[in-house]
A and B are shown apart, each in its own frame.
Chain A
Amino acid sequence: MPSDALPRRCRPRLTPAGLCLVLGLIALAMAVVELDARLGLGPGLNALLTPGETARALAMHFAWWPRLAMALLAGGGLALAGVLMQQVLRNPLAAPTTLGVASGANLALMAATLMAPGLLVLGREWVALAGGGGAMALVFALAWRRGLAPVVVVLGGLVVNLYFGALSMVLLLFHQEELKGLLIWGAGSLAQNGWQDVAFLAPRLALGTLAAAWLLRPLAVLELSEAGARSLGVSLKHLRLAGLGLAVFLTGCVVSVVGIIGFIGLAAPNIVRLAGARRLGTRLLWSTLLGALLLATTDLLLQHFSGVLPTLIPTGATTAALGAPLLLWLIPRLNLGGEAPSREARAIGTRHPAPGRLAAWLSLSLAGVTLVALLVGQAGDGWHWTTPGDWALLEWRLPRVLAAAGCGVMLAIAGTLIQRLTGNPMASPELLGISGGSAIALMGAIFLLPAPDNLTLVGAGTLGALASLTVVVALNRQSGFQPERLLLTGVAITALFDAVRAVVLAGGDPRGQQVIAWLSGSTYYVDLTSALTVSGAALLLALAAIPLARWLDILPLGGACAAALGLPLARARLVLLLLVALLTAGATLVVGPLSFVGLLAPHLARLLGFSRAAPHLAGAAISGALLMVVADWLGRQWLFPEEIPAGLMASLLGGAYFMWGLRRL
């Protein structure tokens, strides 16, 4: 159980109180310096209470002070929500954004902006809360039958997150101009121009804190094992519901006011735990305080340094960007210990009696779908069967179908490998950070070079993928590529990627459209040569995975068990990791970071009944290809002449099926 696995005592010198004191002093010093520079200390303090006459005093009263207050409130609220979630889900990686609250709120705001702007007049925070609450309710509904078991909740949250994220991407792709304001919101800006938002947030957070204090004792029971808690007569379902519901309420309130602020909810509780806080009460107290101070300090630093830039650097994205290296630094210091297999990770789906027949059926449908995708399509004047007369059309269709299938196969295999390697159902190629790394490099190329051609972009993407792979390997070699640590490294790189993307999009630069188009994973840019390269590489790498099937059967049993069976653990992990990196980088460079397929295809295969490693690989590869080809074709036809990128379509289709499958569990 990860929460138990953290160190009981890290270093005697480092206590949560000491940490908060140091950080508090830094924040105080920064604030005093700022006050002094802007208005002088006395008048500056005075401006807290009265607007004053001069423009500077006005700005202090209506912008600087509320912003500081907002940073403290938001940071505290998010950290509190983070502790609650990590406690309930017993997963140190759980964070306020994990459960779909942020993406639900985001989607609700986007949809309201486009379809019912009147709602935003009534109050955007209510729209955001409704969206976040709705997403959470969906997660609960998915996990209800399993008594809100942690693994299923996290999995449901992840899928809802991806699903809503994909829907928002579609809206954004088609309505970039209308939604540009929400991009700033999505990057989390703390800018204030009055006290009204603080007045909105403060009482709600106070209420949430009271509720958390009230839940403290029952929640502490969750630290016992599940059976132990049950034997004490605690209703786990209701307790988890209350804990998570409270966390969502806190997150929703904060997020609706200042936008998505990454990392605080993840970092503050983990840092406090590393600093030696063990009991839930102490963790709640110090995490809240640390979260508040972390956000305030970051924001003060940011205001100090960003004055000269032509654009606003949003705080929420900055915390995420700063937090990423911090997390990378923390990883070797986290004693995650347990090589125990994660329970319930393999509990999904039942074994099909004849996997061979199932695979044959799947291949047959893949062939049929490919044929339809090649021959049927719309033109300016309606639907067409391709007749021998217009083979020229295949010049446009063949590369896309090939690339879609190839990338589907690669991502599906990468996903299967990494899910079996880490024994973690949340794992996907994106979580390793490889697509994130190459995406950062690509965005850099689009924004820093005057008119980059595709070759330059591919080069930049490869460099980025290699760089992130190097980081992953360098940080994990010592621990022998322990699954939890590997995932954490990936989470850190992905956080950095999210931050870079948010900053890039929030600036409102027209080139953002290009970034969105690429990030949503389209086969649009593929020509025949690269399509052939992709499908060839997919085939080769798929063949390379077959001899590894024995390792993959054993690895999910856990490190200790695998070692006992004579598996060269470190080497096996390194080899699998390299293969995953190659597969992911190959697919990412061609069709963007389409990790949804990498997450969904292995699960699909498992739900269909492929359970041993070799059939699982084959099943995942075929379902991945099927999913991508269907997605690519549907995406090209649905809103003709506008095209929905294959990556988005795949996650919309796959996510829907996946939710249906989860509900059935």
Chain B
Amino acid sequence: MLRTRCRLPALAGLLAMLAAAVAQADTPRLATLDWTLAETLVALDAPPLASAQLEAYHAWVDEPALPDTTIDLGLRSQPNLELLARLAPDHILISPMFANLAPRLERIASVKTLPLYRAEQDTWQEMRRLTRSLGELVERPEAARRLIDTTEARLDTLGARLDGTAPPPLLMVQFMDGRHVRVFGDNGLFQAVLDRLALTNAWTGPTNAWGFSLAGIEALAGLDARLVVIEPYPAGVRETLAESGLWQHLVEAGRGSPIVLPPVWSFGAMPSALRFAERLVDALENDDAV
């Protein structure tokens, strides 16, 4: 149940390597507790020295992958302070969610709090702003500009591929168990992507600050939409759904069979947004071809 980790010798070597690597690079040495910040840093080609819960990062965010040299700080909510103090980074980047850690972390290095997904703010503008401020922090403003430009250009291309196909409104859900889903809507990453692709979201109900709403499957009944299921399916849920009368009717009444997309970090920044867009557009296109 509790796996003991056997990566200590590897870590020792890494520390030495890093010490050498850091000597040559001028970019500030950063530690971040937030996966969204970490993925953006990787996309800026300035991966963080250390981040938290790396195994879970690779399970849930996956791409862009953190380099093998990244040091694991432990839990996101309680990073290992002794380890962090030994690494002595120049800055520690956090999101407002971990603001209560700031006083402790301040004793190790300067703490920068970078918000994303604030209520009442346009998510895409916020993502741009976040990318720019990270670019300035790692002293690579041109990389940030490039990331924004290429992401937006790519999204435009993807949007253009859908021109003339008139896809139906989409209903994006992720299964929590056999009876409940997260429905993604306003304020979230997926909505921001739909907006850029000029697609319609069938879910107009209220959502929380992270852009989703927890609902029973019955809340989806009566919405005229194409279902988009974002993996992973929790264990046993496919089987439960096969028995669920309501789900079967939903699938029959919906516009075509559900689109199933591989996992995407639903609270991510530009890299996650682009991944989602690529997969969604691919699925919609291939579907039309059939």
Q: Give chain A's interface residues, CB within 8 Å of chain B.
A: 51, 55-56, 58-59, 61-64, 111-115, 117-118, 120-121, 123-124, 167, 170-171, 173-175, 177, 180-182, 184-185, 189, 191-196, 308-312, 377-382, 392-393, 395-397, 450-454, 457, 506-511, 513-514, 516-517, 522, 524-525, 527, 638-643, 645
- Which of A51, A195, A513 contacts B76 (CB under 8 A)? A513
Docked pose: A509 CA to B187 CA in angstroms: 14
A380 and B235 in contact, given A56-B222, A513-B76, A643-B80 (Cβ under 8 angstroms) = no
Query: Whole-angstrom distance from the CB of B99 to the nearest CB of chain A?
Result: 4
Q: Is the CB of A642 within 8 A of B75?
A: yes
Q: Which residues of A contact B73 (CB under 8 A)?
A: 641
Hey, which chain B residues are within 8 Å of A453, CB to CB?
99-100, 102-103
Q: Is B91 located at the chain interface by the 8 A CB criterion?
A: no
Is the CB–CB distance between A312 and B214 below 8 Å? Answer: yes
B226 proximal to A (CB < 8 A): no
- Stretch touching chain A among B137-145, B160-168, B176-184: B176-184
Chain A to chain B contacts (Cβ below 8 Å), 26 pairs: A61-B245, A62-B218, A62-B244, A62-B246, A111-B1, A121-B235, A124-B236, A191-B216, A192-B179, A193-B216, A193-B245, A194-B246, A310-B213, A311-B213, A312-B216, A381-B15, A396-B81, A450-B96, A451-B99, A452-B99, A508-B176, A513-B77, A514-B98, A524-B81, A639-B5, A641-B73
* A379 and B82 contacting across the interface, CB-CB below 8 Å: yes
B82 touches A509 (CB 8 A): no
Please, how many angstroms separate the alpha-carbon atoms of A311 and B82 in the complex? 38
A180-B176 in contact (CB<8A): yes
| New contact pairs (12) apart from A58-B253, A380-B12, A510-B267, CB-CB < 8 Å | A59-B221, A63-B216, A63-B246, A113-B234, A192-B179, A193-B247, A196-B245, A310-B205, A397-B82, A451-B96, A639-B4, A642-B53
User: Looking at B5, B9, B180, which has the most chain A CB atoms within 10 Å of its CB?
Assistant: B180
Question: Which residues of chain B (213-264) have a CB below 8 Å from chain A?
Answer: 213-218, 221-222, 234-236, 239, 243-247, 249, 253
Tell whether A181 pairs with B177 under 8 Å between CB atoms, given A382-B8, A517-B75. yes
Partner of A59, one of B8, B99, B210, B222: B222
Residues of B with C-beta under 8 A to A192:
179, 216, 218
The interface bits of chain B over 118-135 (1 if a CB of A lies within 8 angstroms of the residue's CB, else 0) are 000000000000000000
* Nearest opposing residue in chain B for A122, CB measure: B236
Given contacts A196-B243, A453-B100, is CB(A382)–CB(B12) below 8 Å?
A: yes
Residue among B1, B98, B209, B247 with the highest chain A CB neighbour number at 10 A: B1
Chain A residues with Cβ below 8 Å from B210 are 509-510
User: For the complex, is B74 an interface residue (Cβ under 8 Å from A)?
Assistant: yes
Distance (Å) between the CB of B111 and the closest chain A CB?
Answer: 12
Residues in B whose Cβ lies below 8 Å from that of A64: 218
What residues on B are CB-neighbors of A174 within 8 Å? 75
Query: How far, in angstroms, from A437 to B122 measured CA to CA in the complex?
Result: 37
Bound together, the chains give a CA A641 to CA B55 distance in angstroms of 12
- How distant is A439 from chain B, measured CB to nearest CB, in Å? 15
**Cβ-neighbour of B177 out of A185, A194, A522 (below 8 A):** A185
Please report whether the interface of chain B is mostly helix, strand, loop or mixed according to DSSP.
mixed
Residue pair B253, A55 in contact (C-beta under 8 Å): yes
The CB with the most chain A CB atoms within 10 A, among B53, B71, B175, is that of B53
* Closest A residue, CB atoms, query B215: A312
Query: What distance in Å separates the Cβ of B12 from its nearest Cβ neighbour in chain A?
Result: 3
Task: Kindly state the separation between the CA atoms of A395 and B222 in the bound complex, as whole angstroms.
Answer: 60
Interface centre among B15, B82, B100, B218 (most CB of A within 10 A): B82
Q: Which residues of the partner chain B approach A517 to less than 8 Å between Cβ atoms?
A: 75, 77-78
| A590 CB → nearest B CB, Å | 14
Q: How far is the CA of A111 from the CA of B165 in the complex (A)?
A: 46
Closest to B16 in A: A381
How many Å lie between the Cα of A382 and that of B5 in the bound state? 12
Quick one: which of B197-220 are within 8 Å of A by CB?
205-210, 212-218
Is B59 among interface residues, defined by CB-CB distance under 8 A?
yes
> Which residues of chain A come closer than 8 Å to B114, judged between CB atoms?
none
For the complex, give the distance between the alpha carbons of A311 and B15 in Å.
44
Give the Cβ gap from A428 to chain B, nearest Cβ, in Å.
25
List B82-132 residues whose CB lies under 8 Å from chain A: 82-83, 85-87, 96-104, 107, 113
Task: Give complex CA distance A167, B2 in Å.
Answer: 10
What mask results when residues 45 to 88 of chain B are scored 1 for a CB within 8 Å of chain A, else 0? 00000000100100110000000000111111111111101110
Say whether A525 contacts B245, CB under 8 Å.
no
Within the complex, the shortest CB–CB distance from A128 to chain B, in Å, comes to: 12
A residues less than 8 Å from B56 (CB atoms)? 175, 177
| Assembled-state Cα–Cα distance A397/B80 (Å) | 12
Q: Once the chains are docked, how many angstroms separate the CA of A508 from the CA of B212?
A: 9
The residue of chain A having its C-beta at the shortest distance from the C-beta of B221 within the complex is A59
Query: Is B218 a contact partner of A524 (Cβ separation < 8 A)?
Result: no
B22 at the interface (CB under 8 A from A): no
B11 at interface (Cβ–Cβ under 8 A)?
A: yes
Q: Name B265's closest neighbour in chain A (CB-CB).
A: A177
Q: B186-200 interface mask toward A, CB cutoff 8 Å, 1 = contact, 0 = none?
A: 000000000000000
- B80 touching A642, Cβ below 8 Å: yes
Question: Across the interface, which residues of B come within 8 angstroms of A378, CB to CB?
Answer: 8
Structural contact, B60 and A177, CB atoms closer than 8 A: yes
Tell whether, in the assembled complex, residue A507 and residue B246 are in contact, meaning their CB atoms are under 8 Å apart.
no
Contacts of B246 in A (CB 8 A): 58-59, 62-63, 193-194
Q: Which of B1, B72, B214, B239 interacts with A641 by CB under 8 Å?
A: B72
With a CB–CB cut-off of 8 A, which chain A residues contact B72? 641
**Given A311-B213, A379-B82, A181:B176 Cβ within 8 A:** yes
Question: Considering the chains assembled together, what is the distance between the CA atoms of A56 and B5 in angstroms?
Answer: 52
Which A-chain residue is minimally distant from B238 (CB atoms)?
A: A121
Inter-subunit contact A639/B2 (CB<8 Å): yes
Contact status of A173 and B75, CB under 8 A, knowing A192-B179, A508-B214: yes
Is there an interface contact between A641 and B216, defined as CB atoms closer than 8 Å? no
Q: How far is the CA of A308 from the CA of B205 in the complex (A)?
A: 8
Contact A184 B177 (CB under 8 A): yes
- Give Cα A518 to B243, complex, Å: 39
Query: In the complex, what's the smallest C-beta–C-beta distance from A64 to chain B, in angstroms?
Result: 8
Residues of A contacting B11 in the complex (Cβ-Cβ under 8 angstroms): 380-381
Nearest CB of B to A150, in Å: 32
Chain A residues with CB under 8 A of B234: 113, 120, 181
Report how far A588 CA is from B252 CA in the complex, Å.
Answer: 53
Cβ–Cβ contact B180 & A191, under 8 A: yes
Instruction: Tell which of A120, A171, A457 has the most Cβ of chain B within 10 Å.
Output: A120
| A452 to B249 CA separation, bound complex (whole angstroms) | 45
B85 touches A396 (CB 8 A): yes
Smallest beta-carbon distance B156→chain A, Å:
30
Q: Are B208 and A524 in contact (CB under 8 A)?
A: no
Cα–Cα, bound, A199→B72 (Å): 48
Q: Is the CB of B86 within 8 A of A643?
A: no
* A51, A111, A171, A380: most-surrounded residue (chain B CB, <10 A): A380
CA distance A385 to B97 in the complex (A): 35
Given contacts A62-B246, A641-B73, contact A380 B216 (CB under 8 A): no
Once bound together, how far apart are the Cα atoms of A506 and B71, in whole Å? 31
A514-B77 contact in complex given A194-B246, A196-B243, C-beta closer than 8 Å: yes
**Nearest CB of chain A from residue B165's CB, rounded to whole Å:** 26
Q: Are A525 and B182 in contact (CB under 8 A)?
A: no
Chain A contacts for B235, CB-based, 8 A? 112-113, 117-118, 120-121
For B6-40 the 0/1 string (1 means CB < 8 A from A) is 00110110110000000000000000000000000
Q: Once the chains bind, are A194 and B216 in contact (CB under 8 Å)?
A: no
- Give chain B residues whose Cβ lies under 8 Å from the Cβ of A51: 245, 249
**Which residue of B9, B98, B244 has the most chain A CB atoms within 10 A of its CB atom?**
B244
Residue among A117, A451, A452, A525 with most chain B CB within 10 A: A451
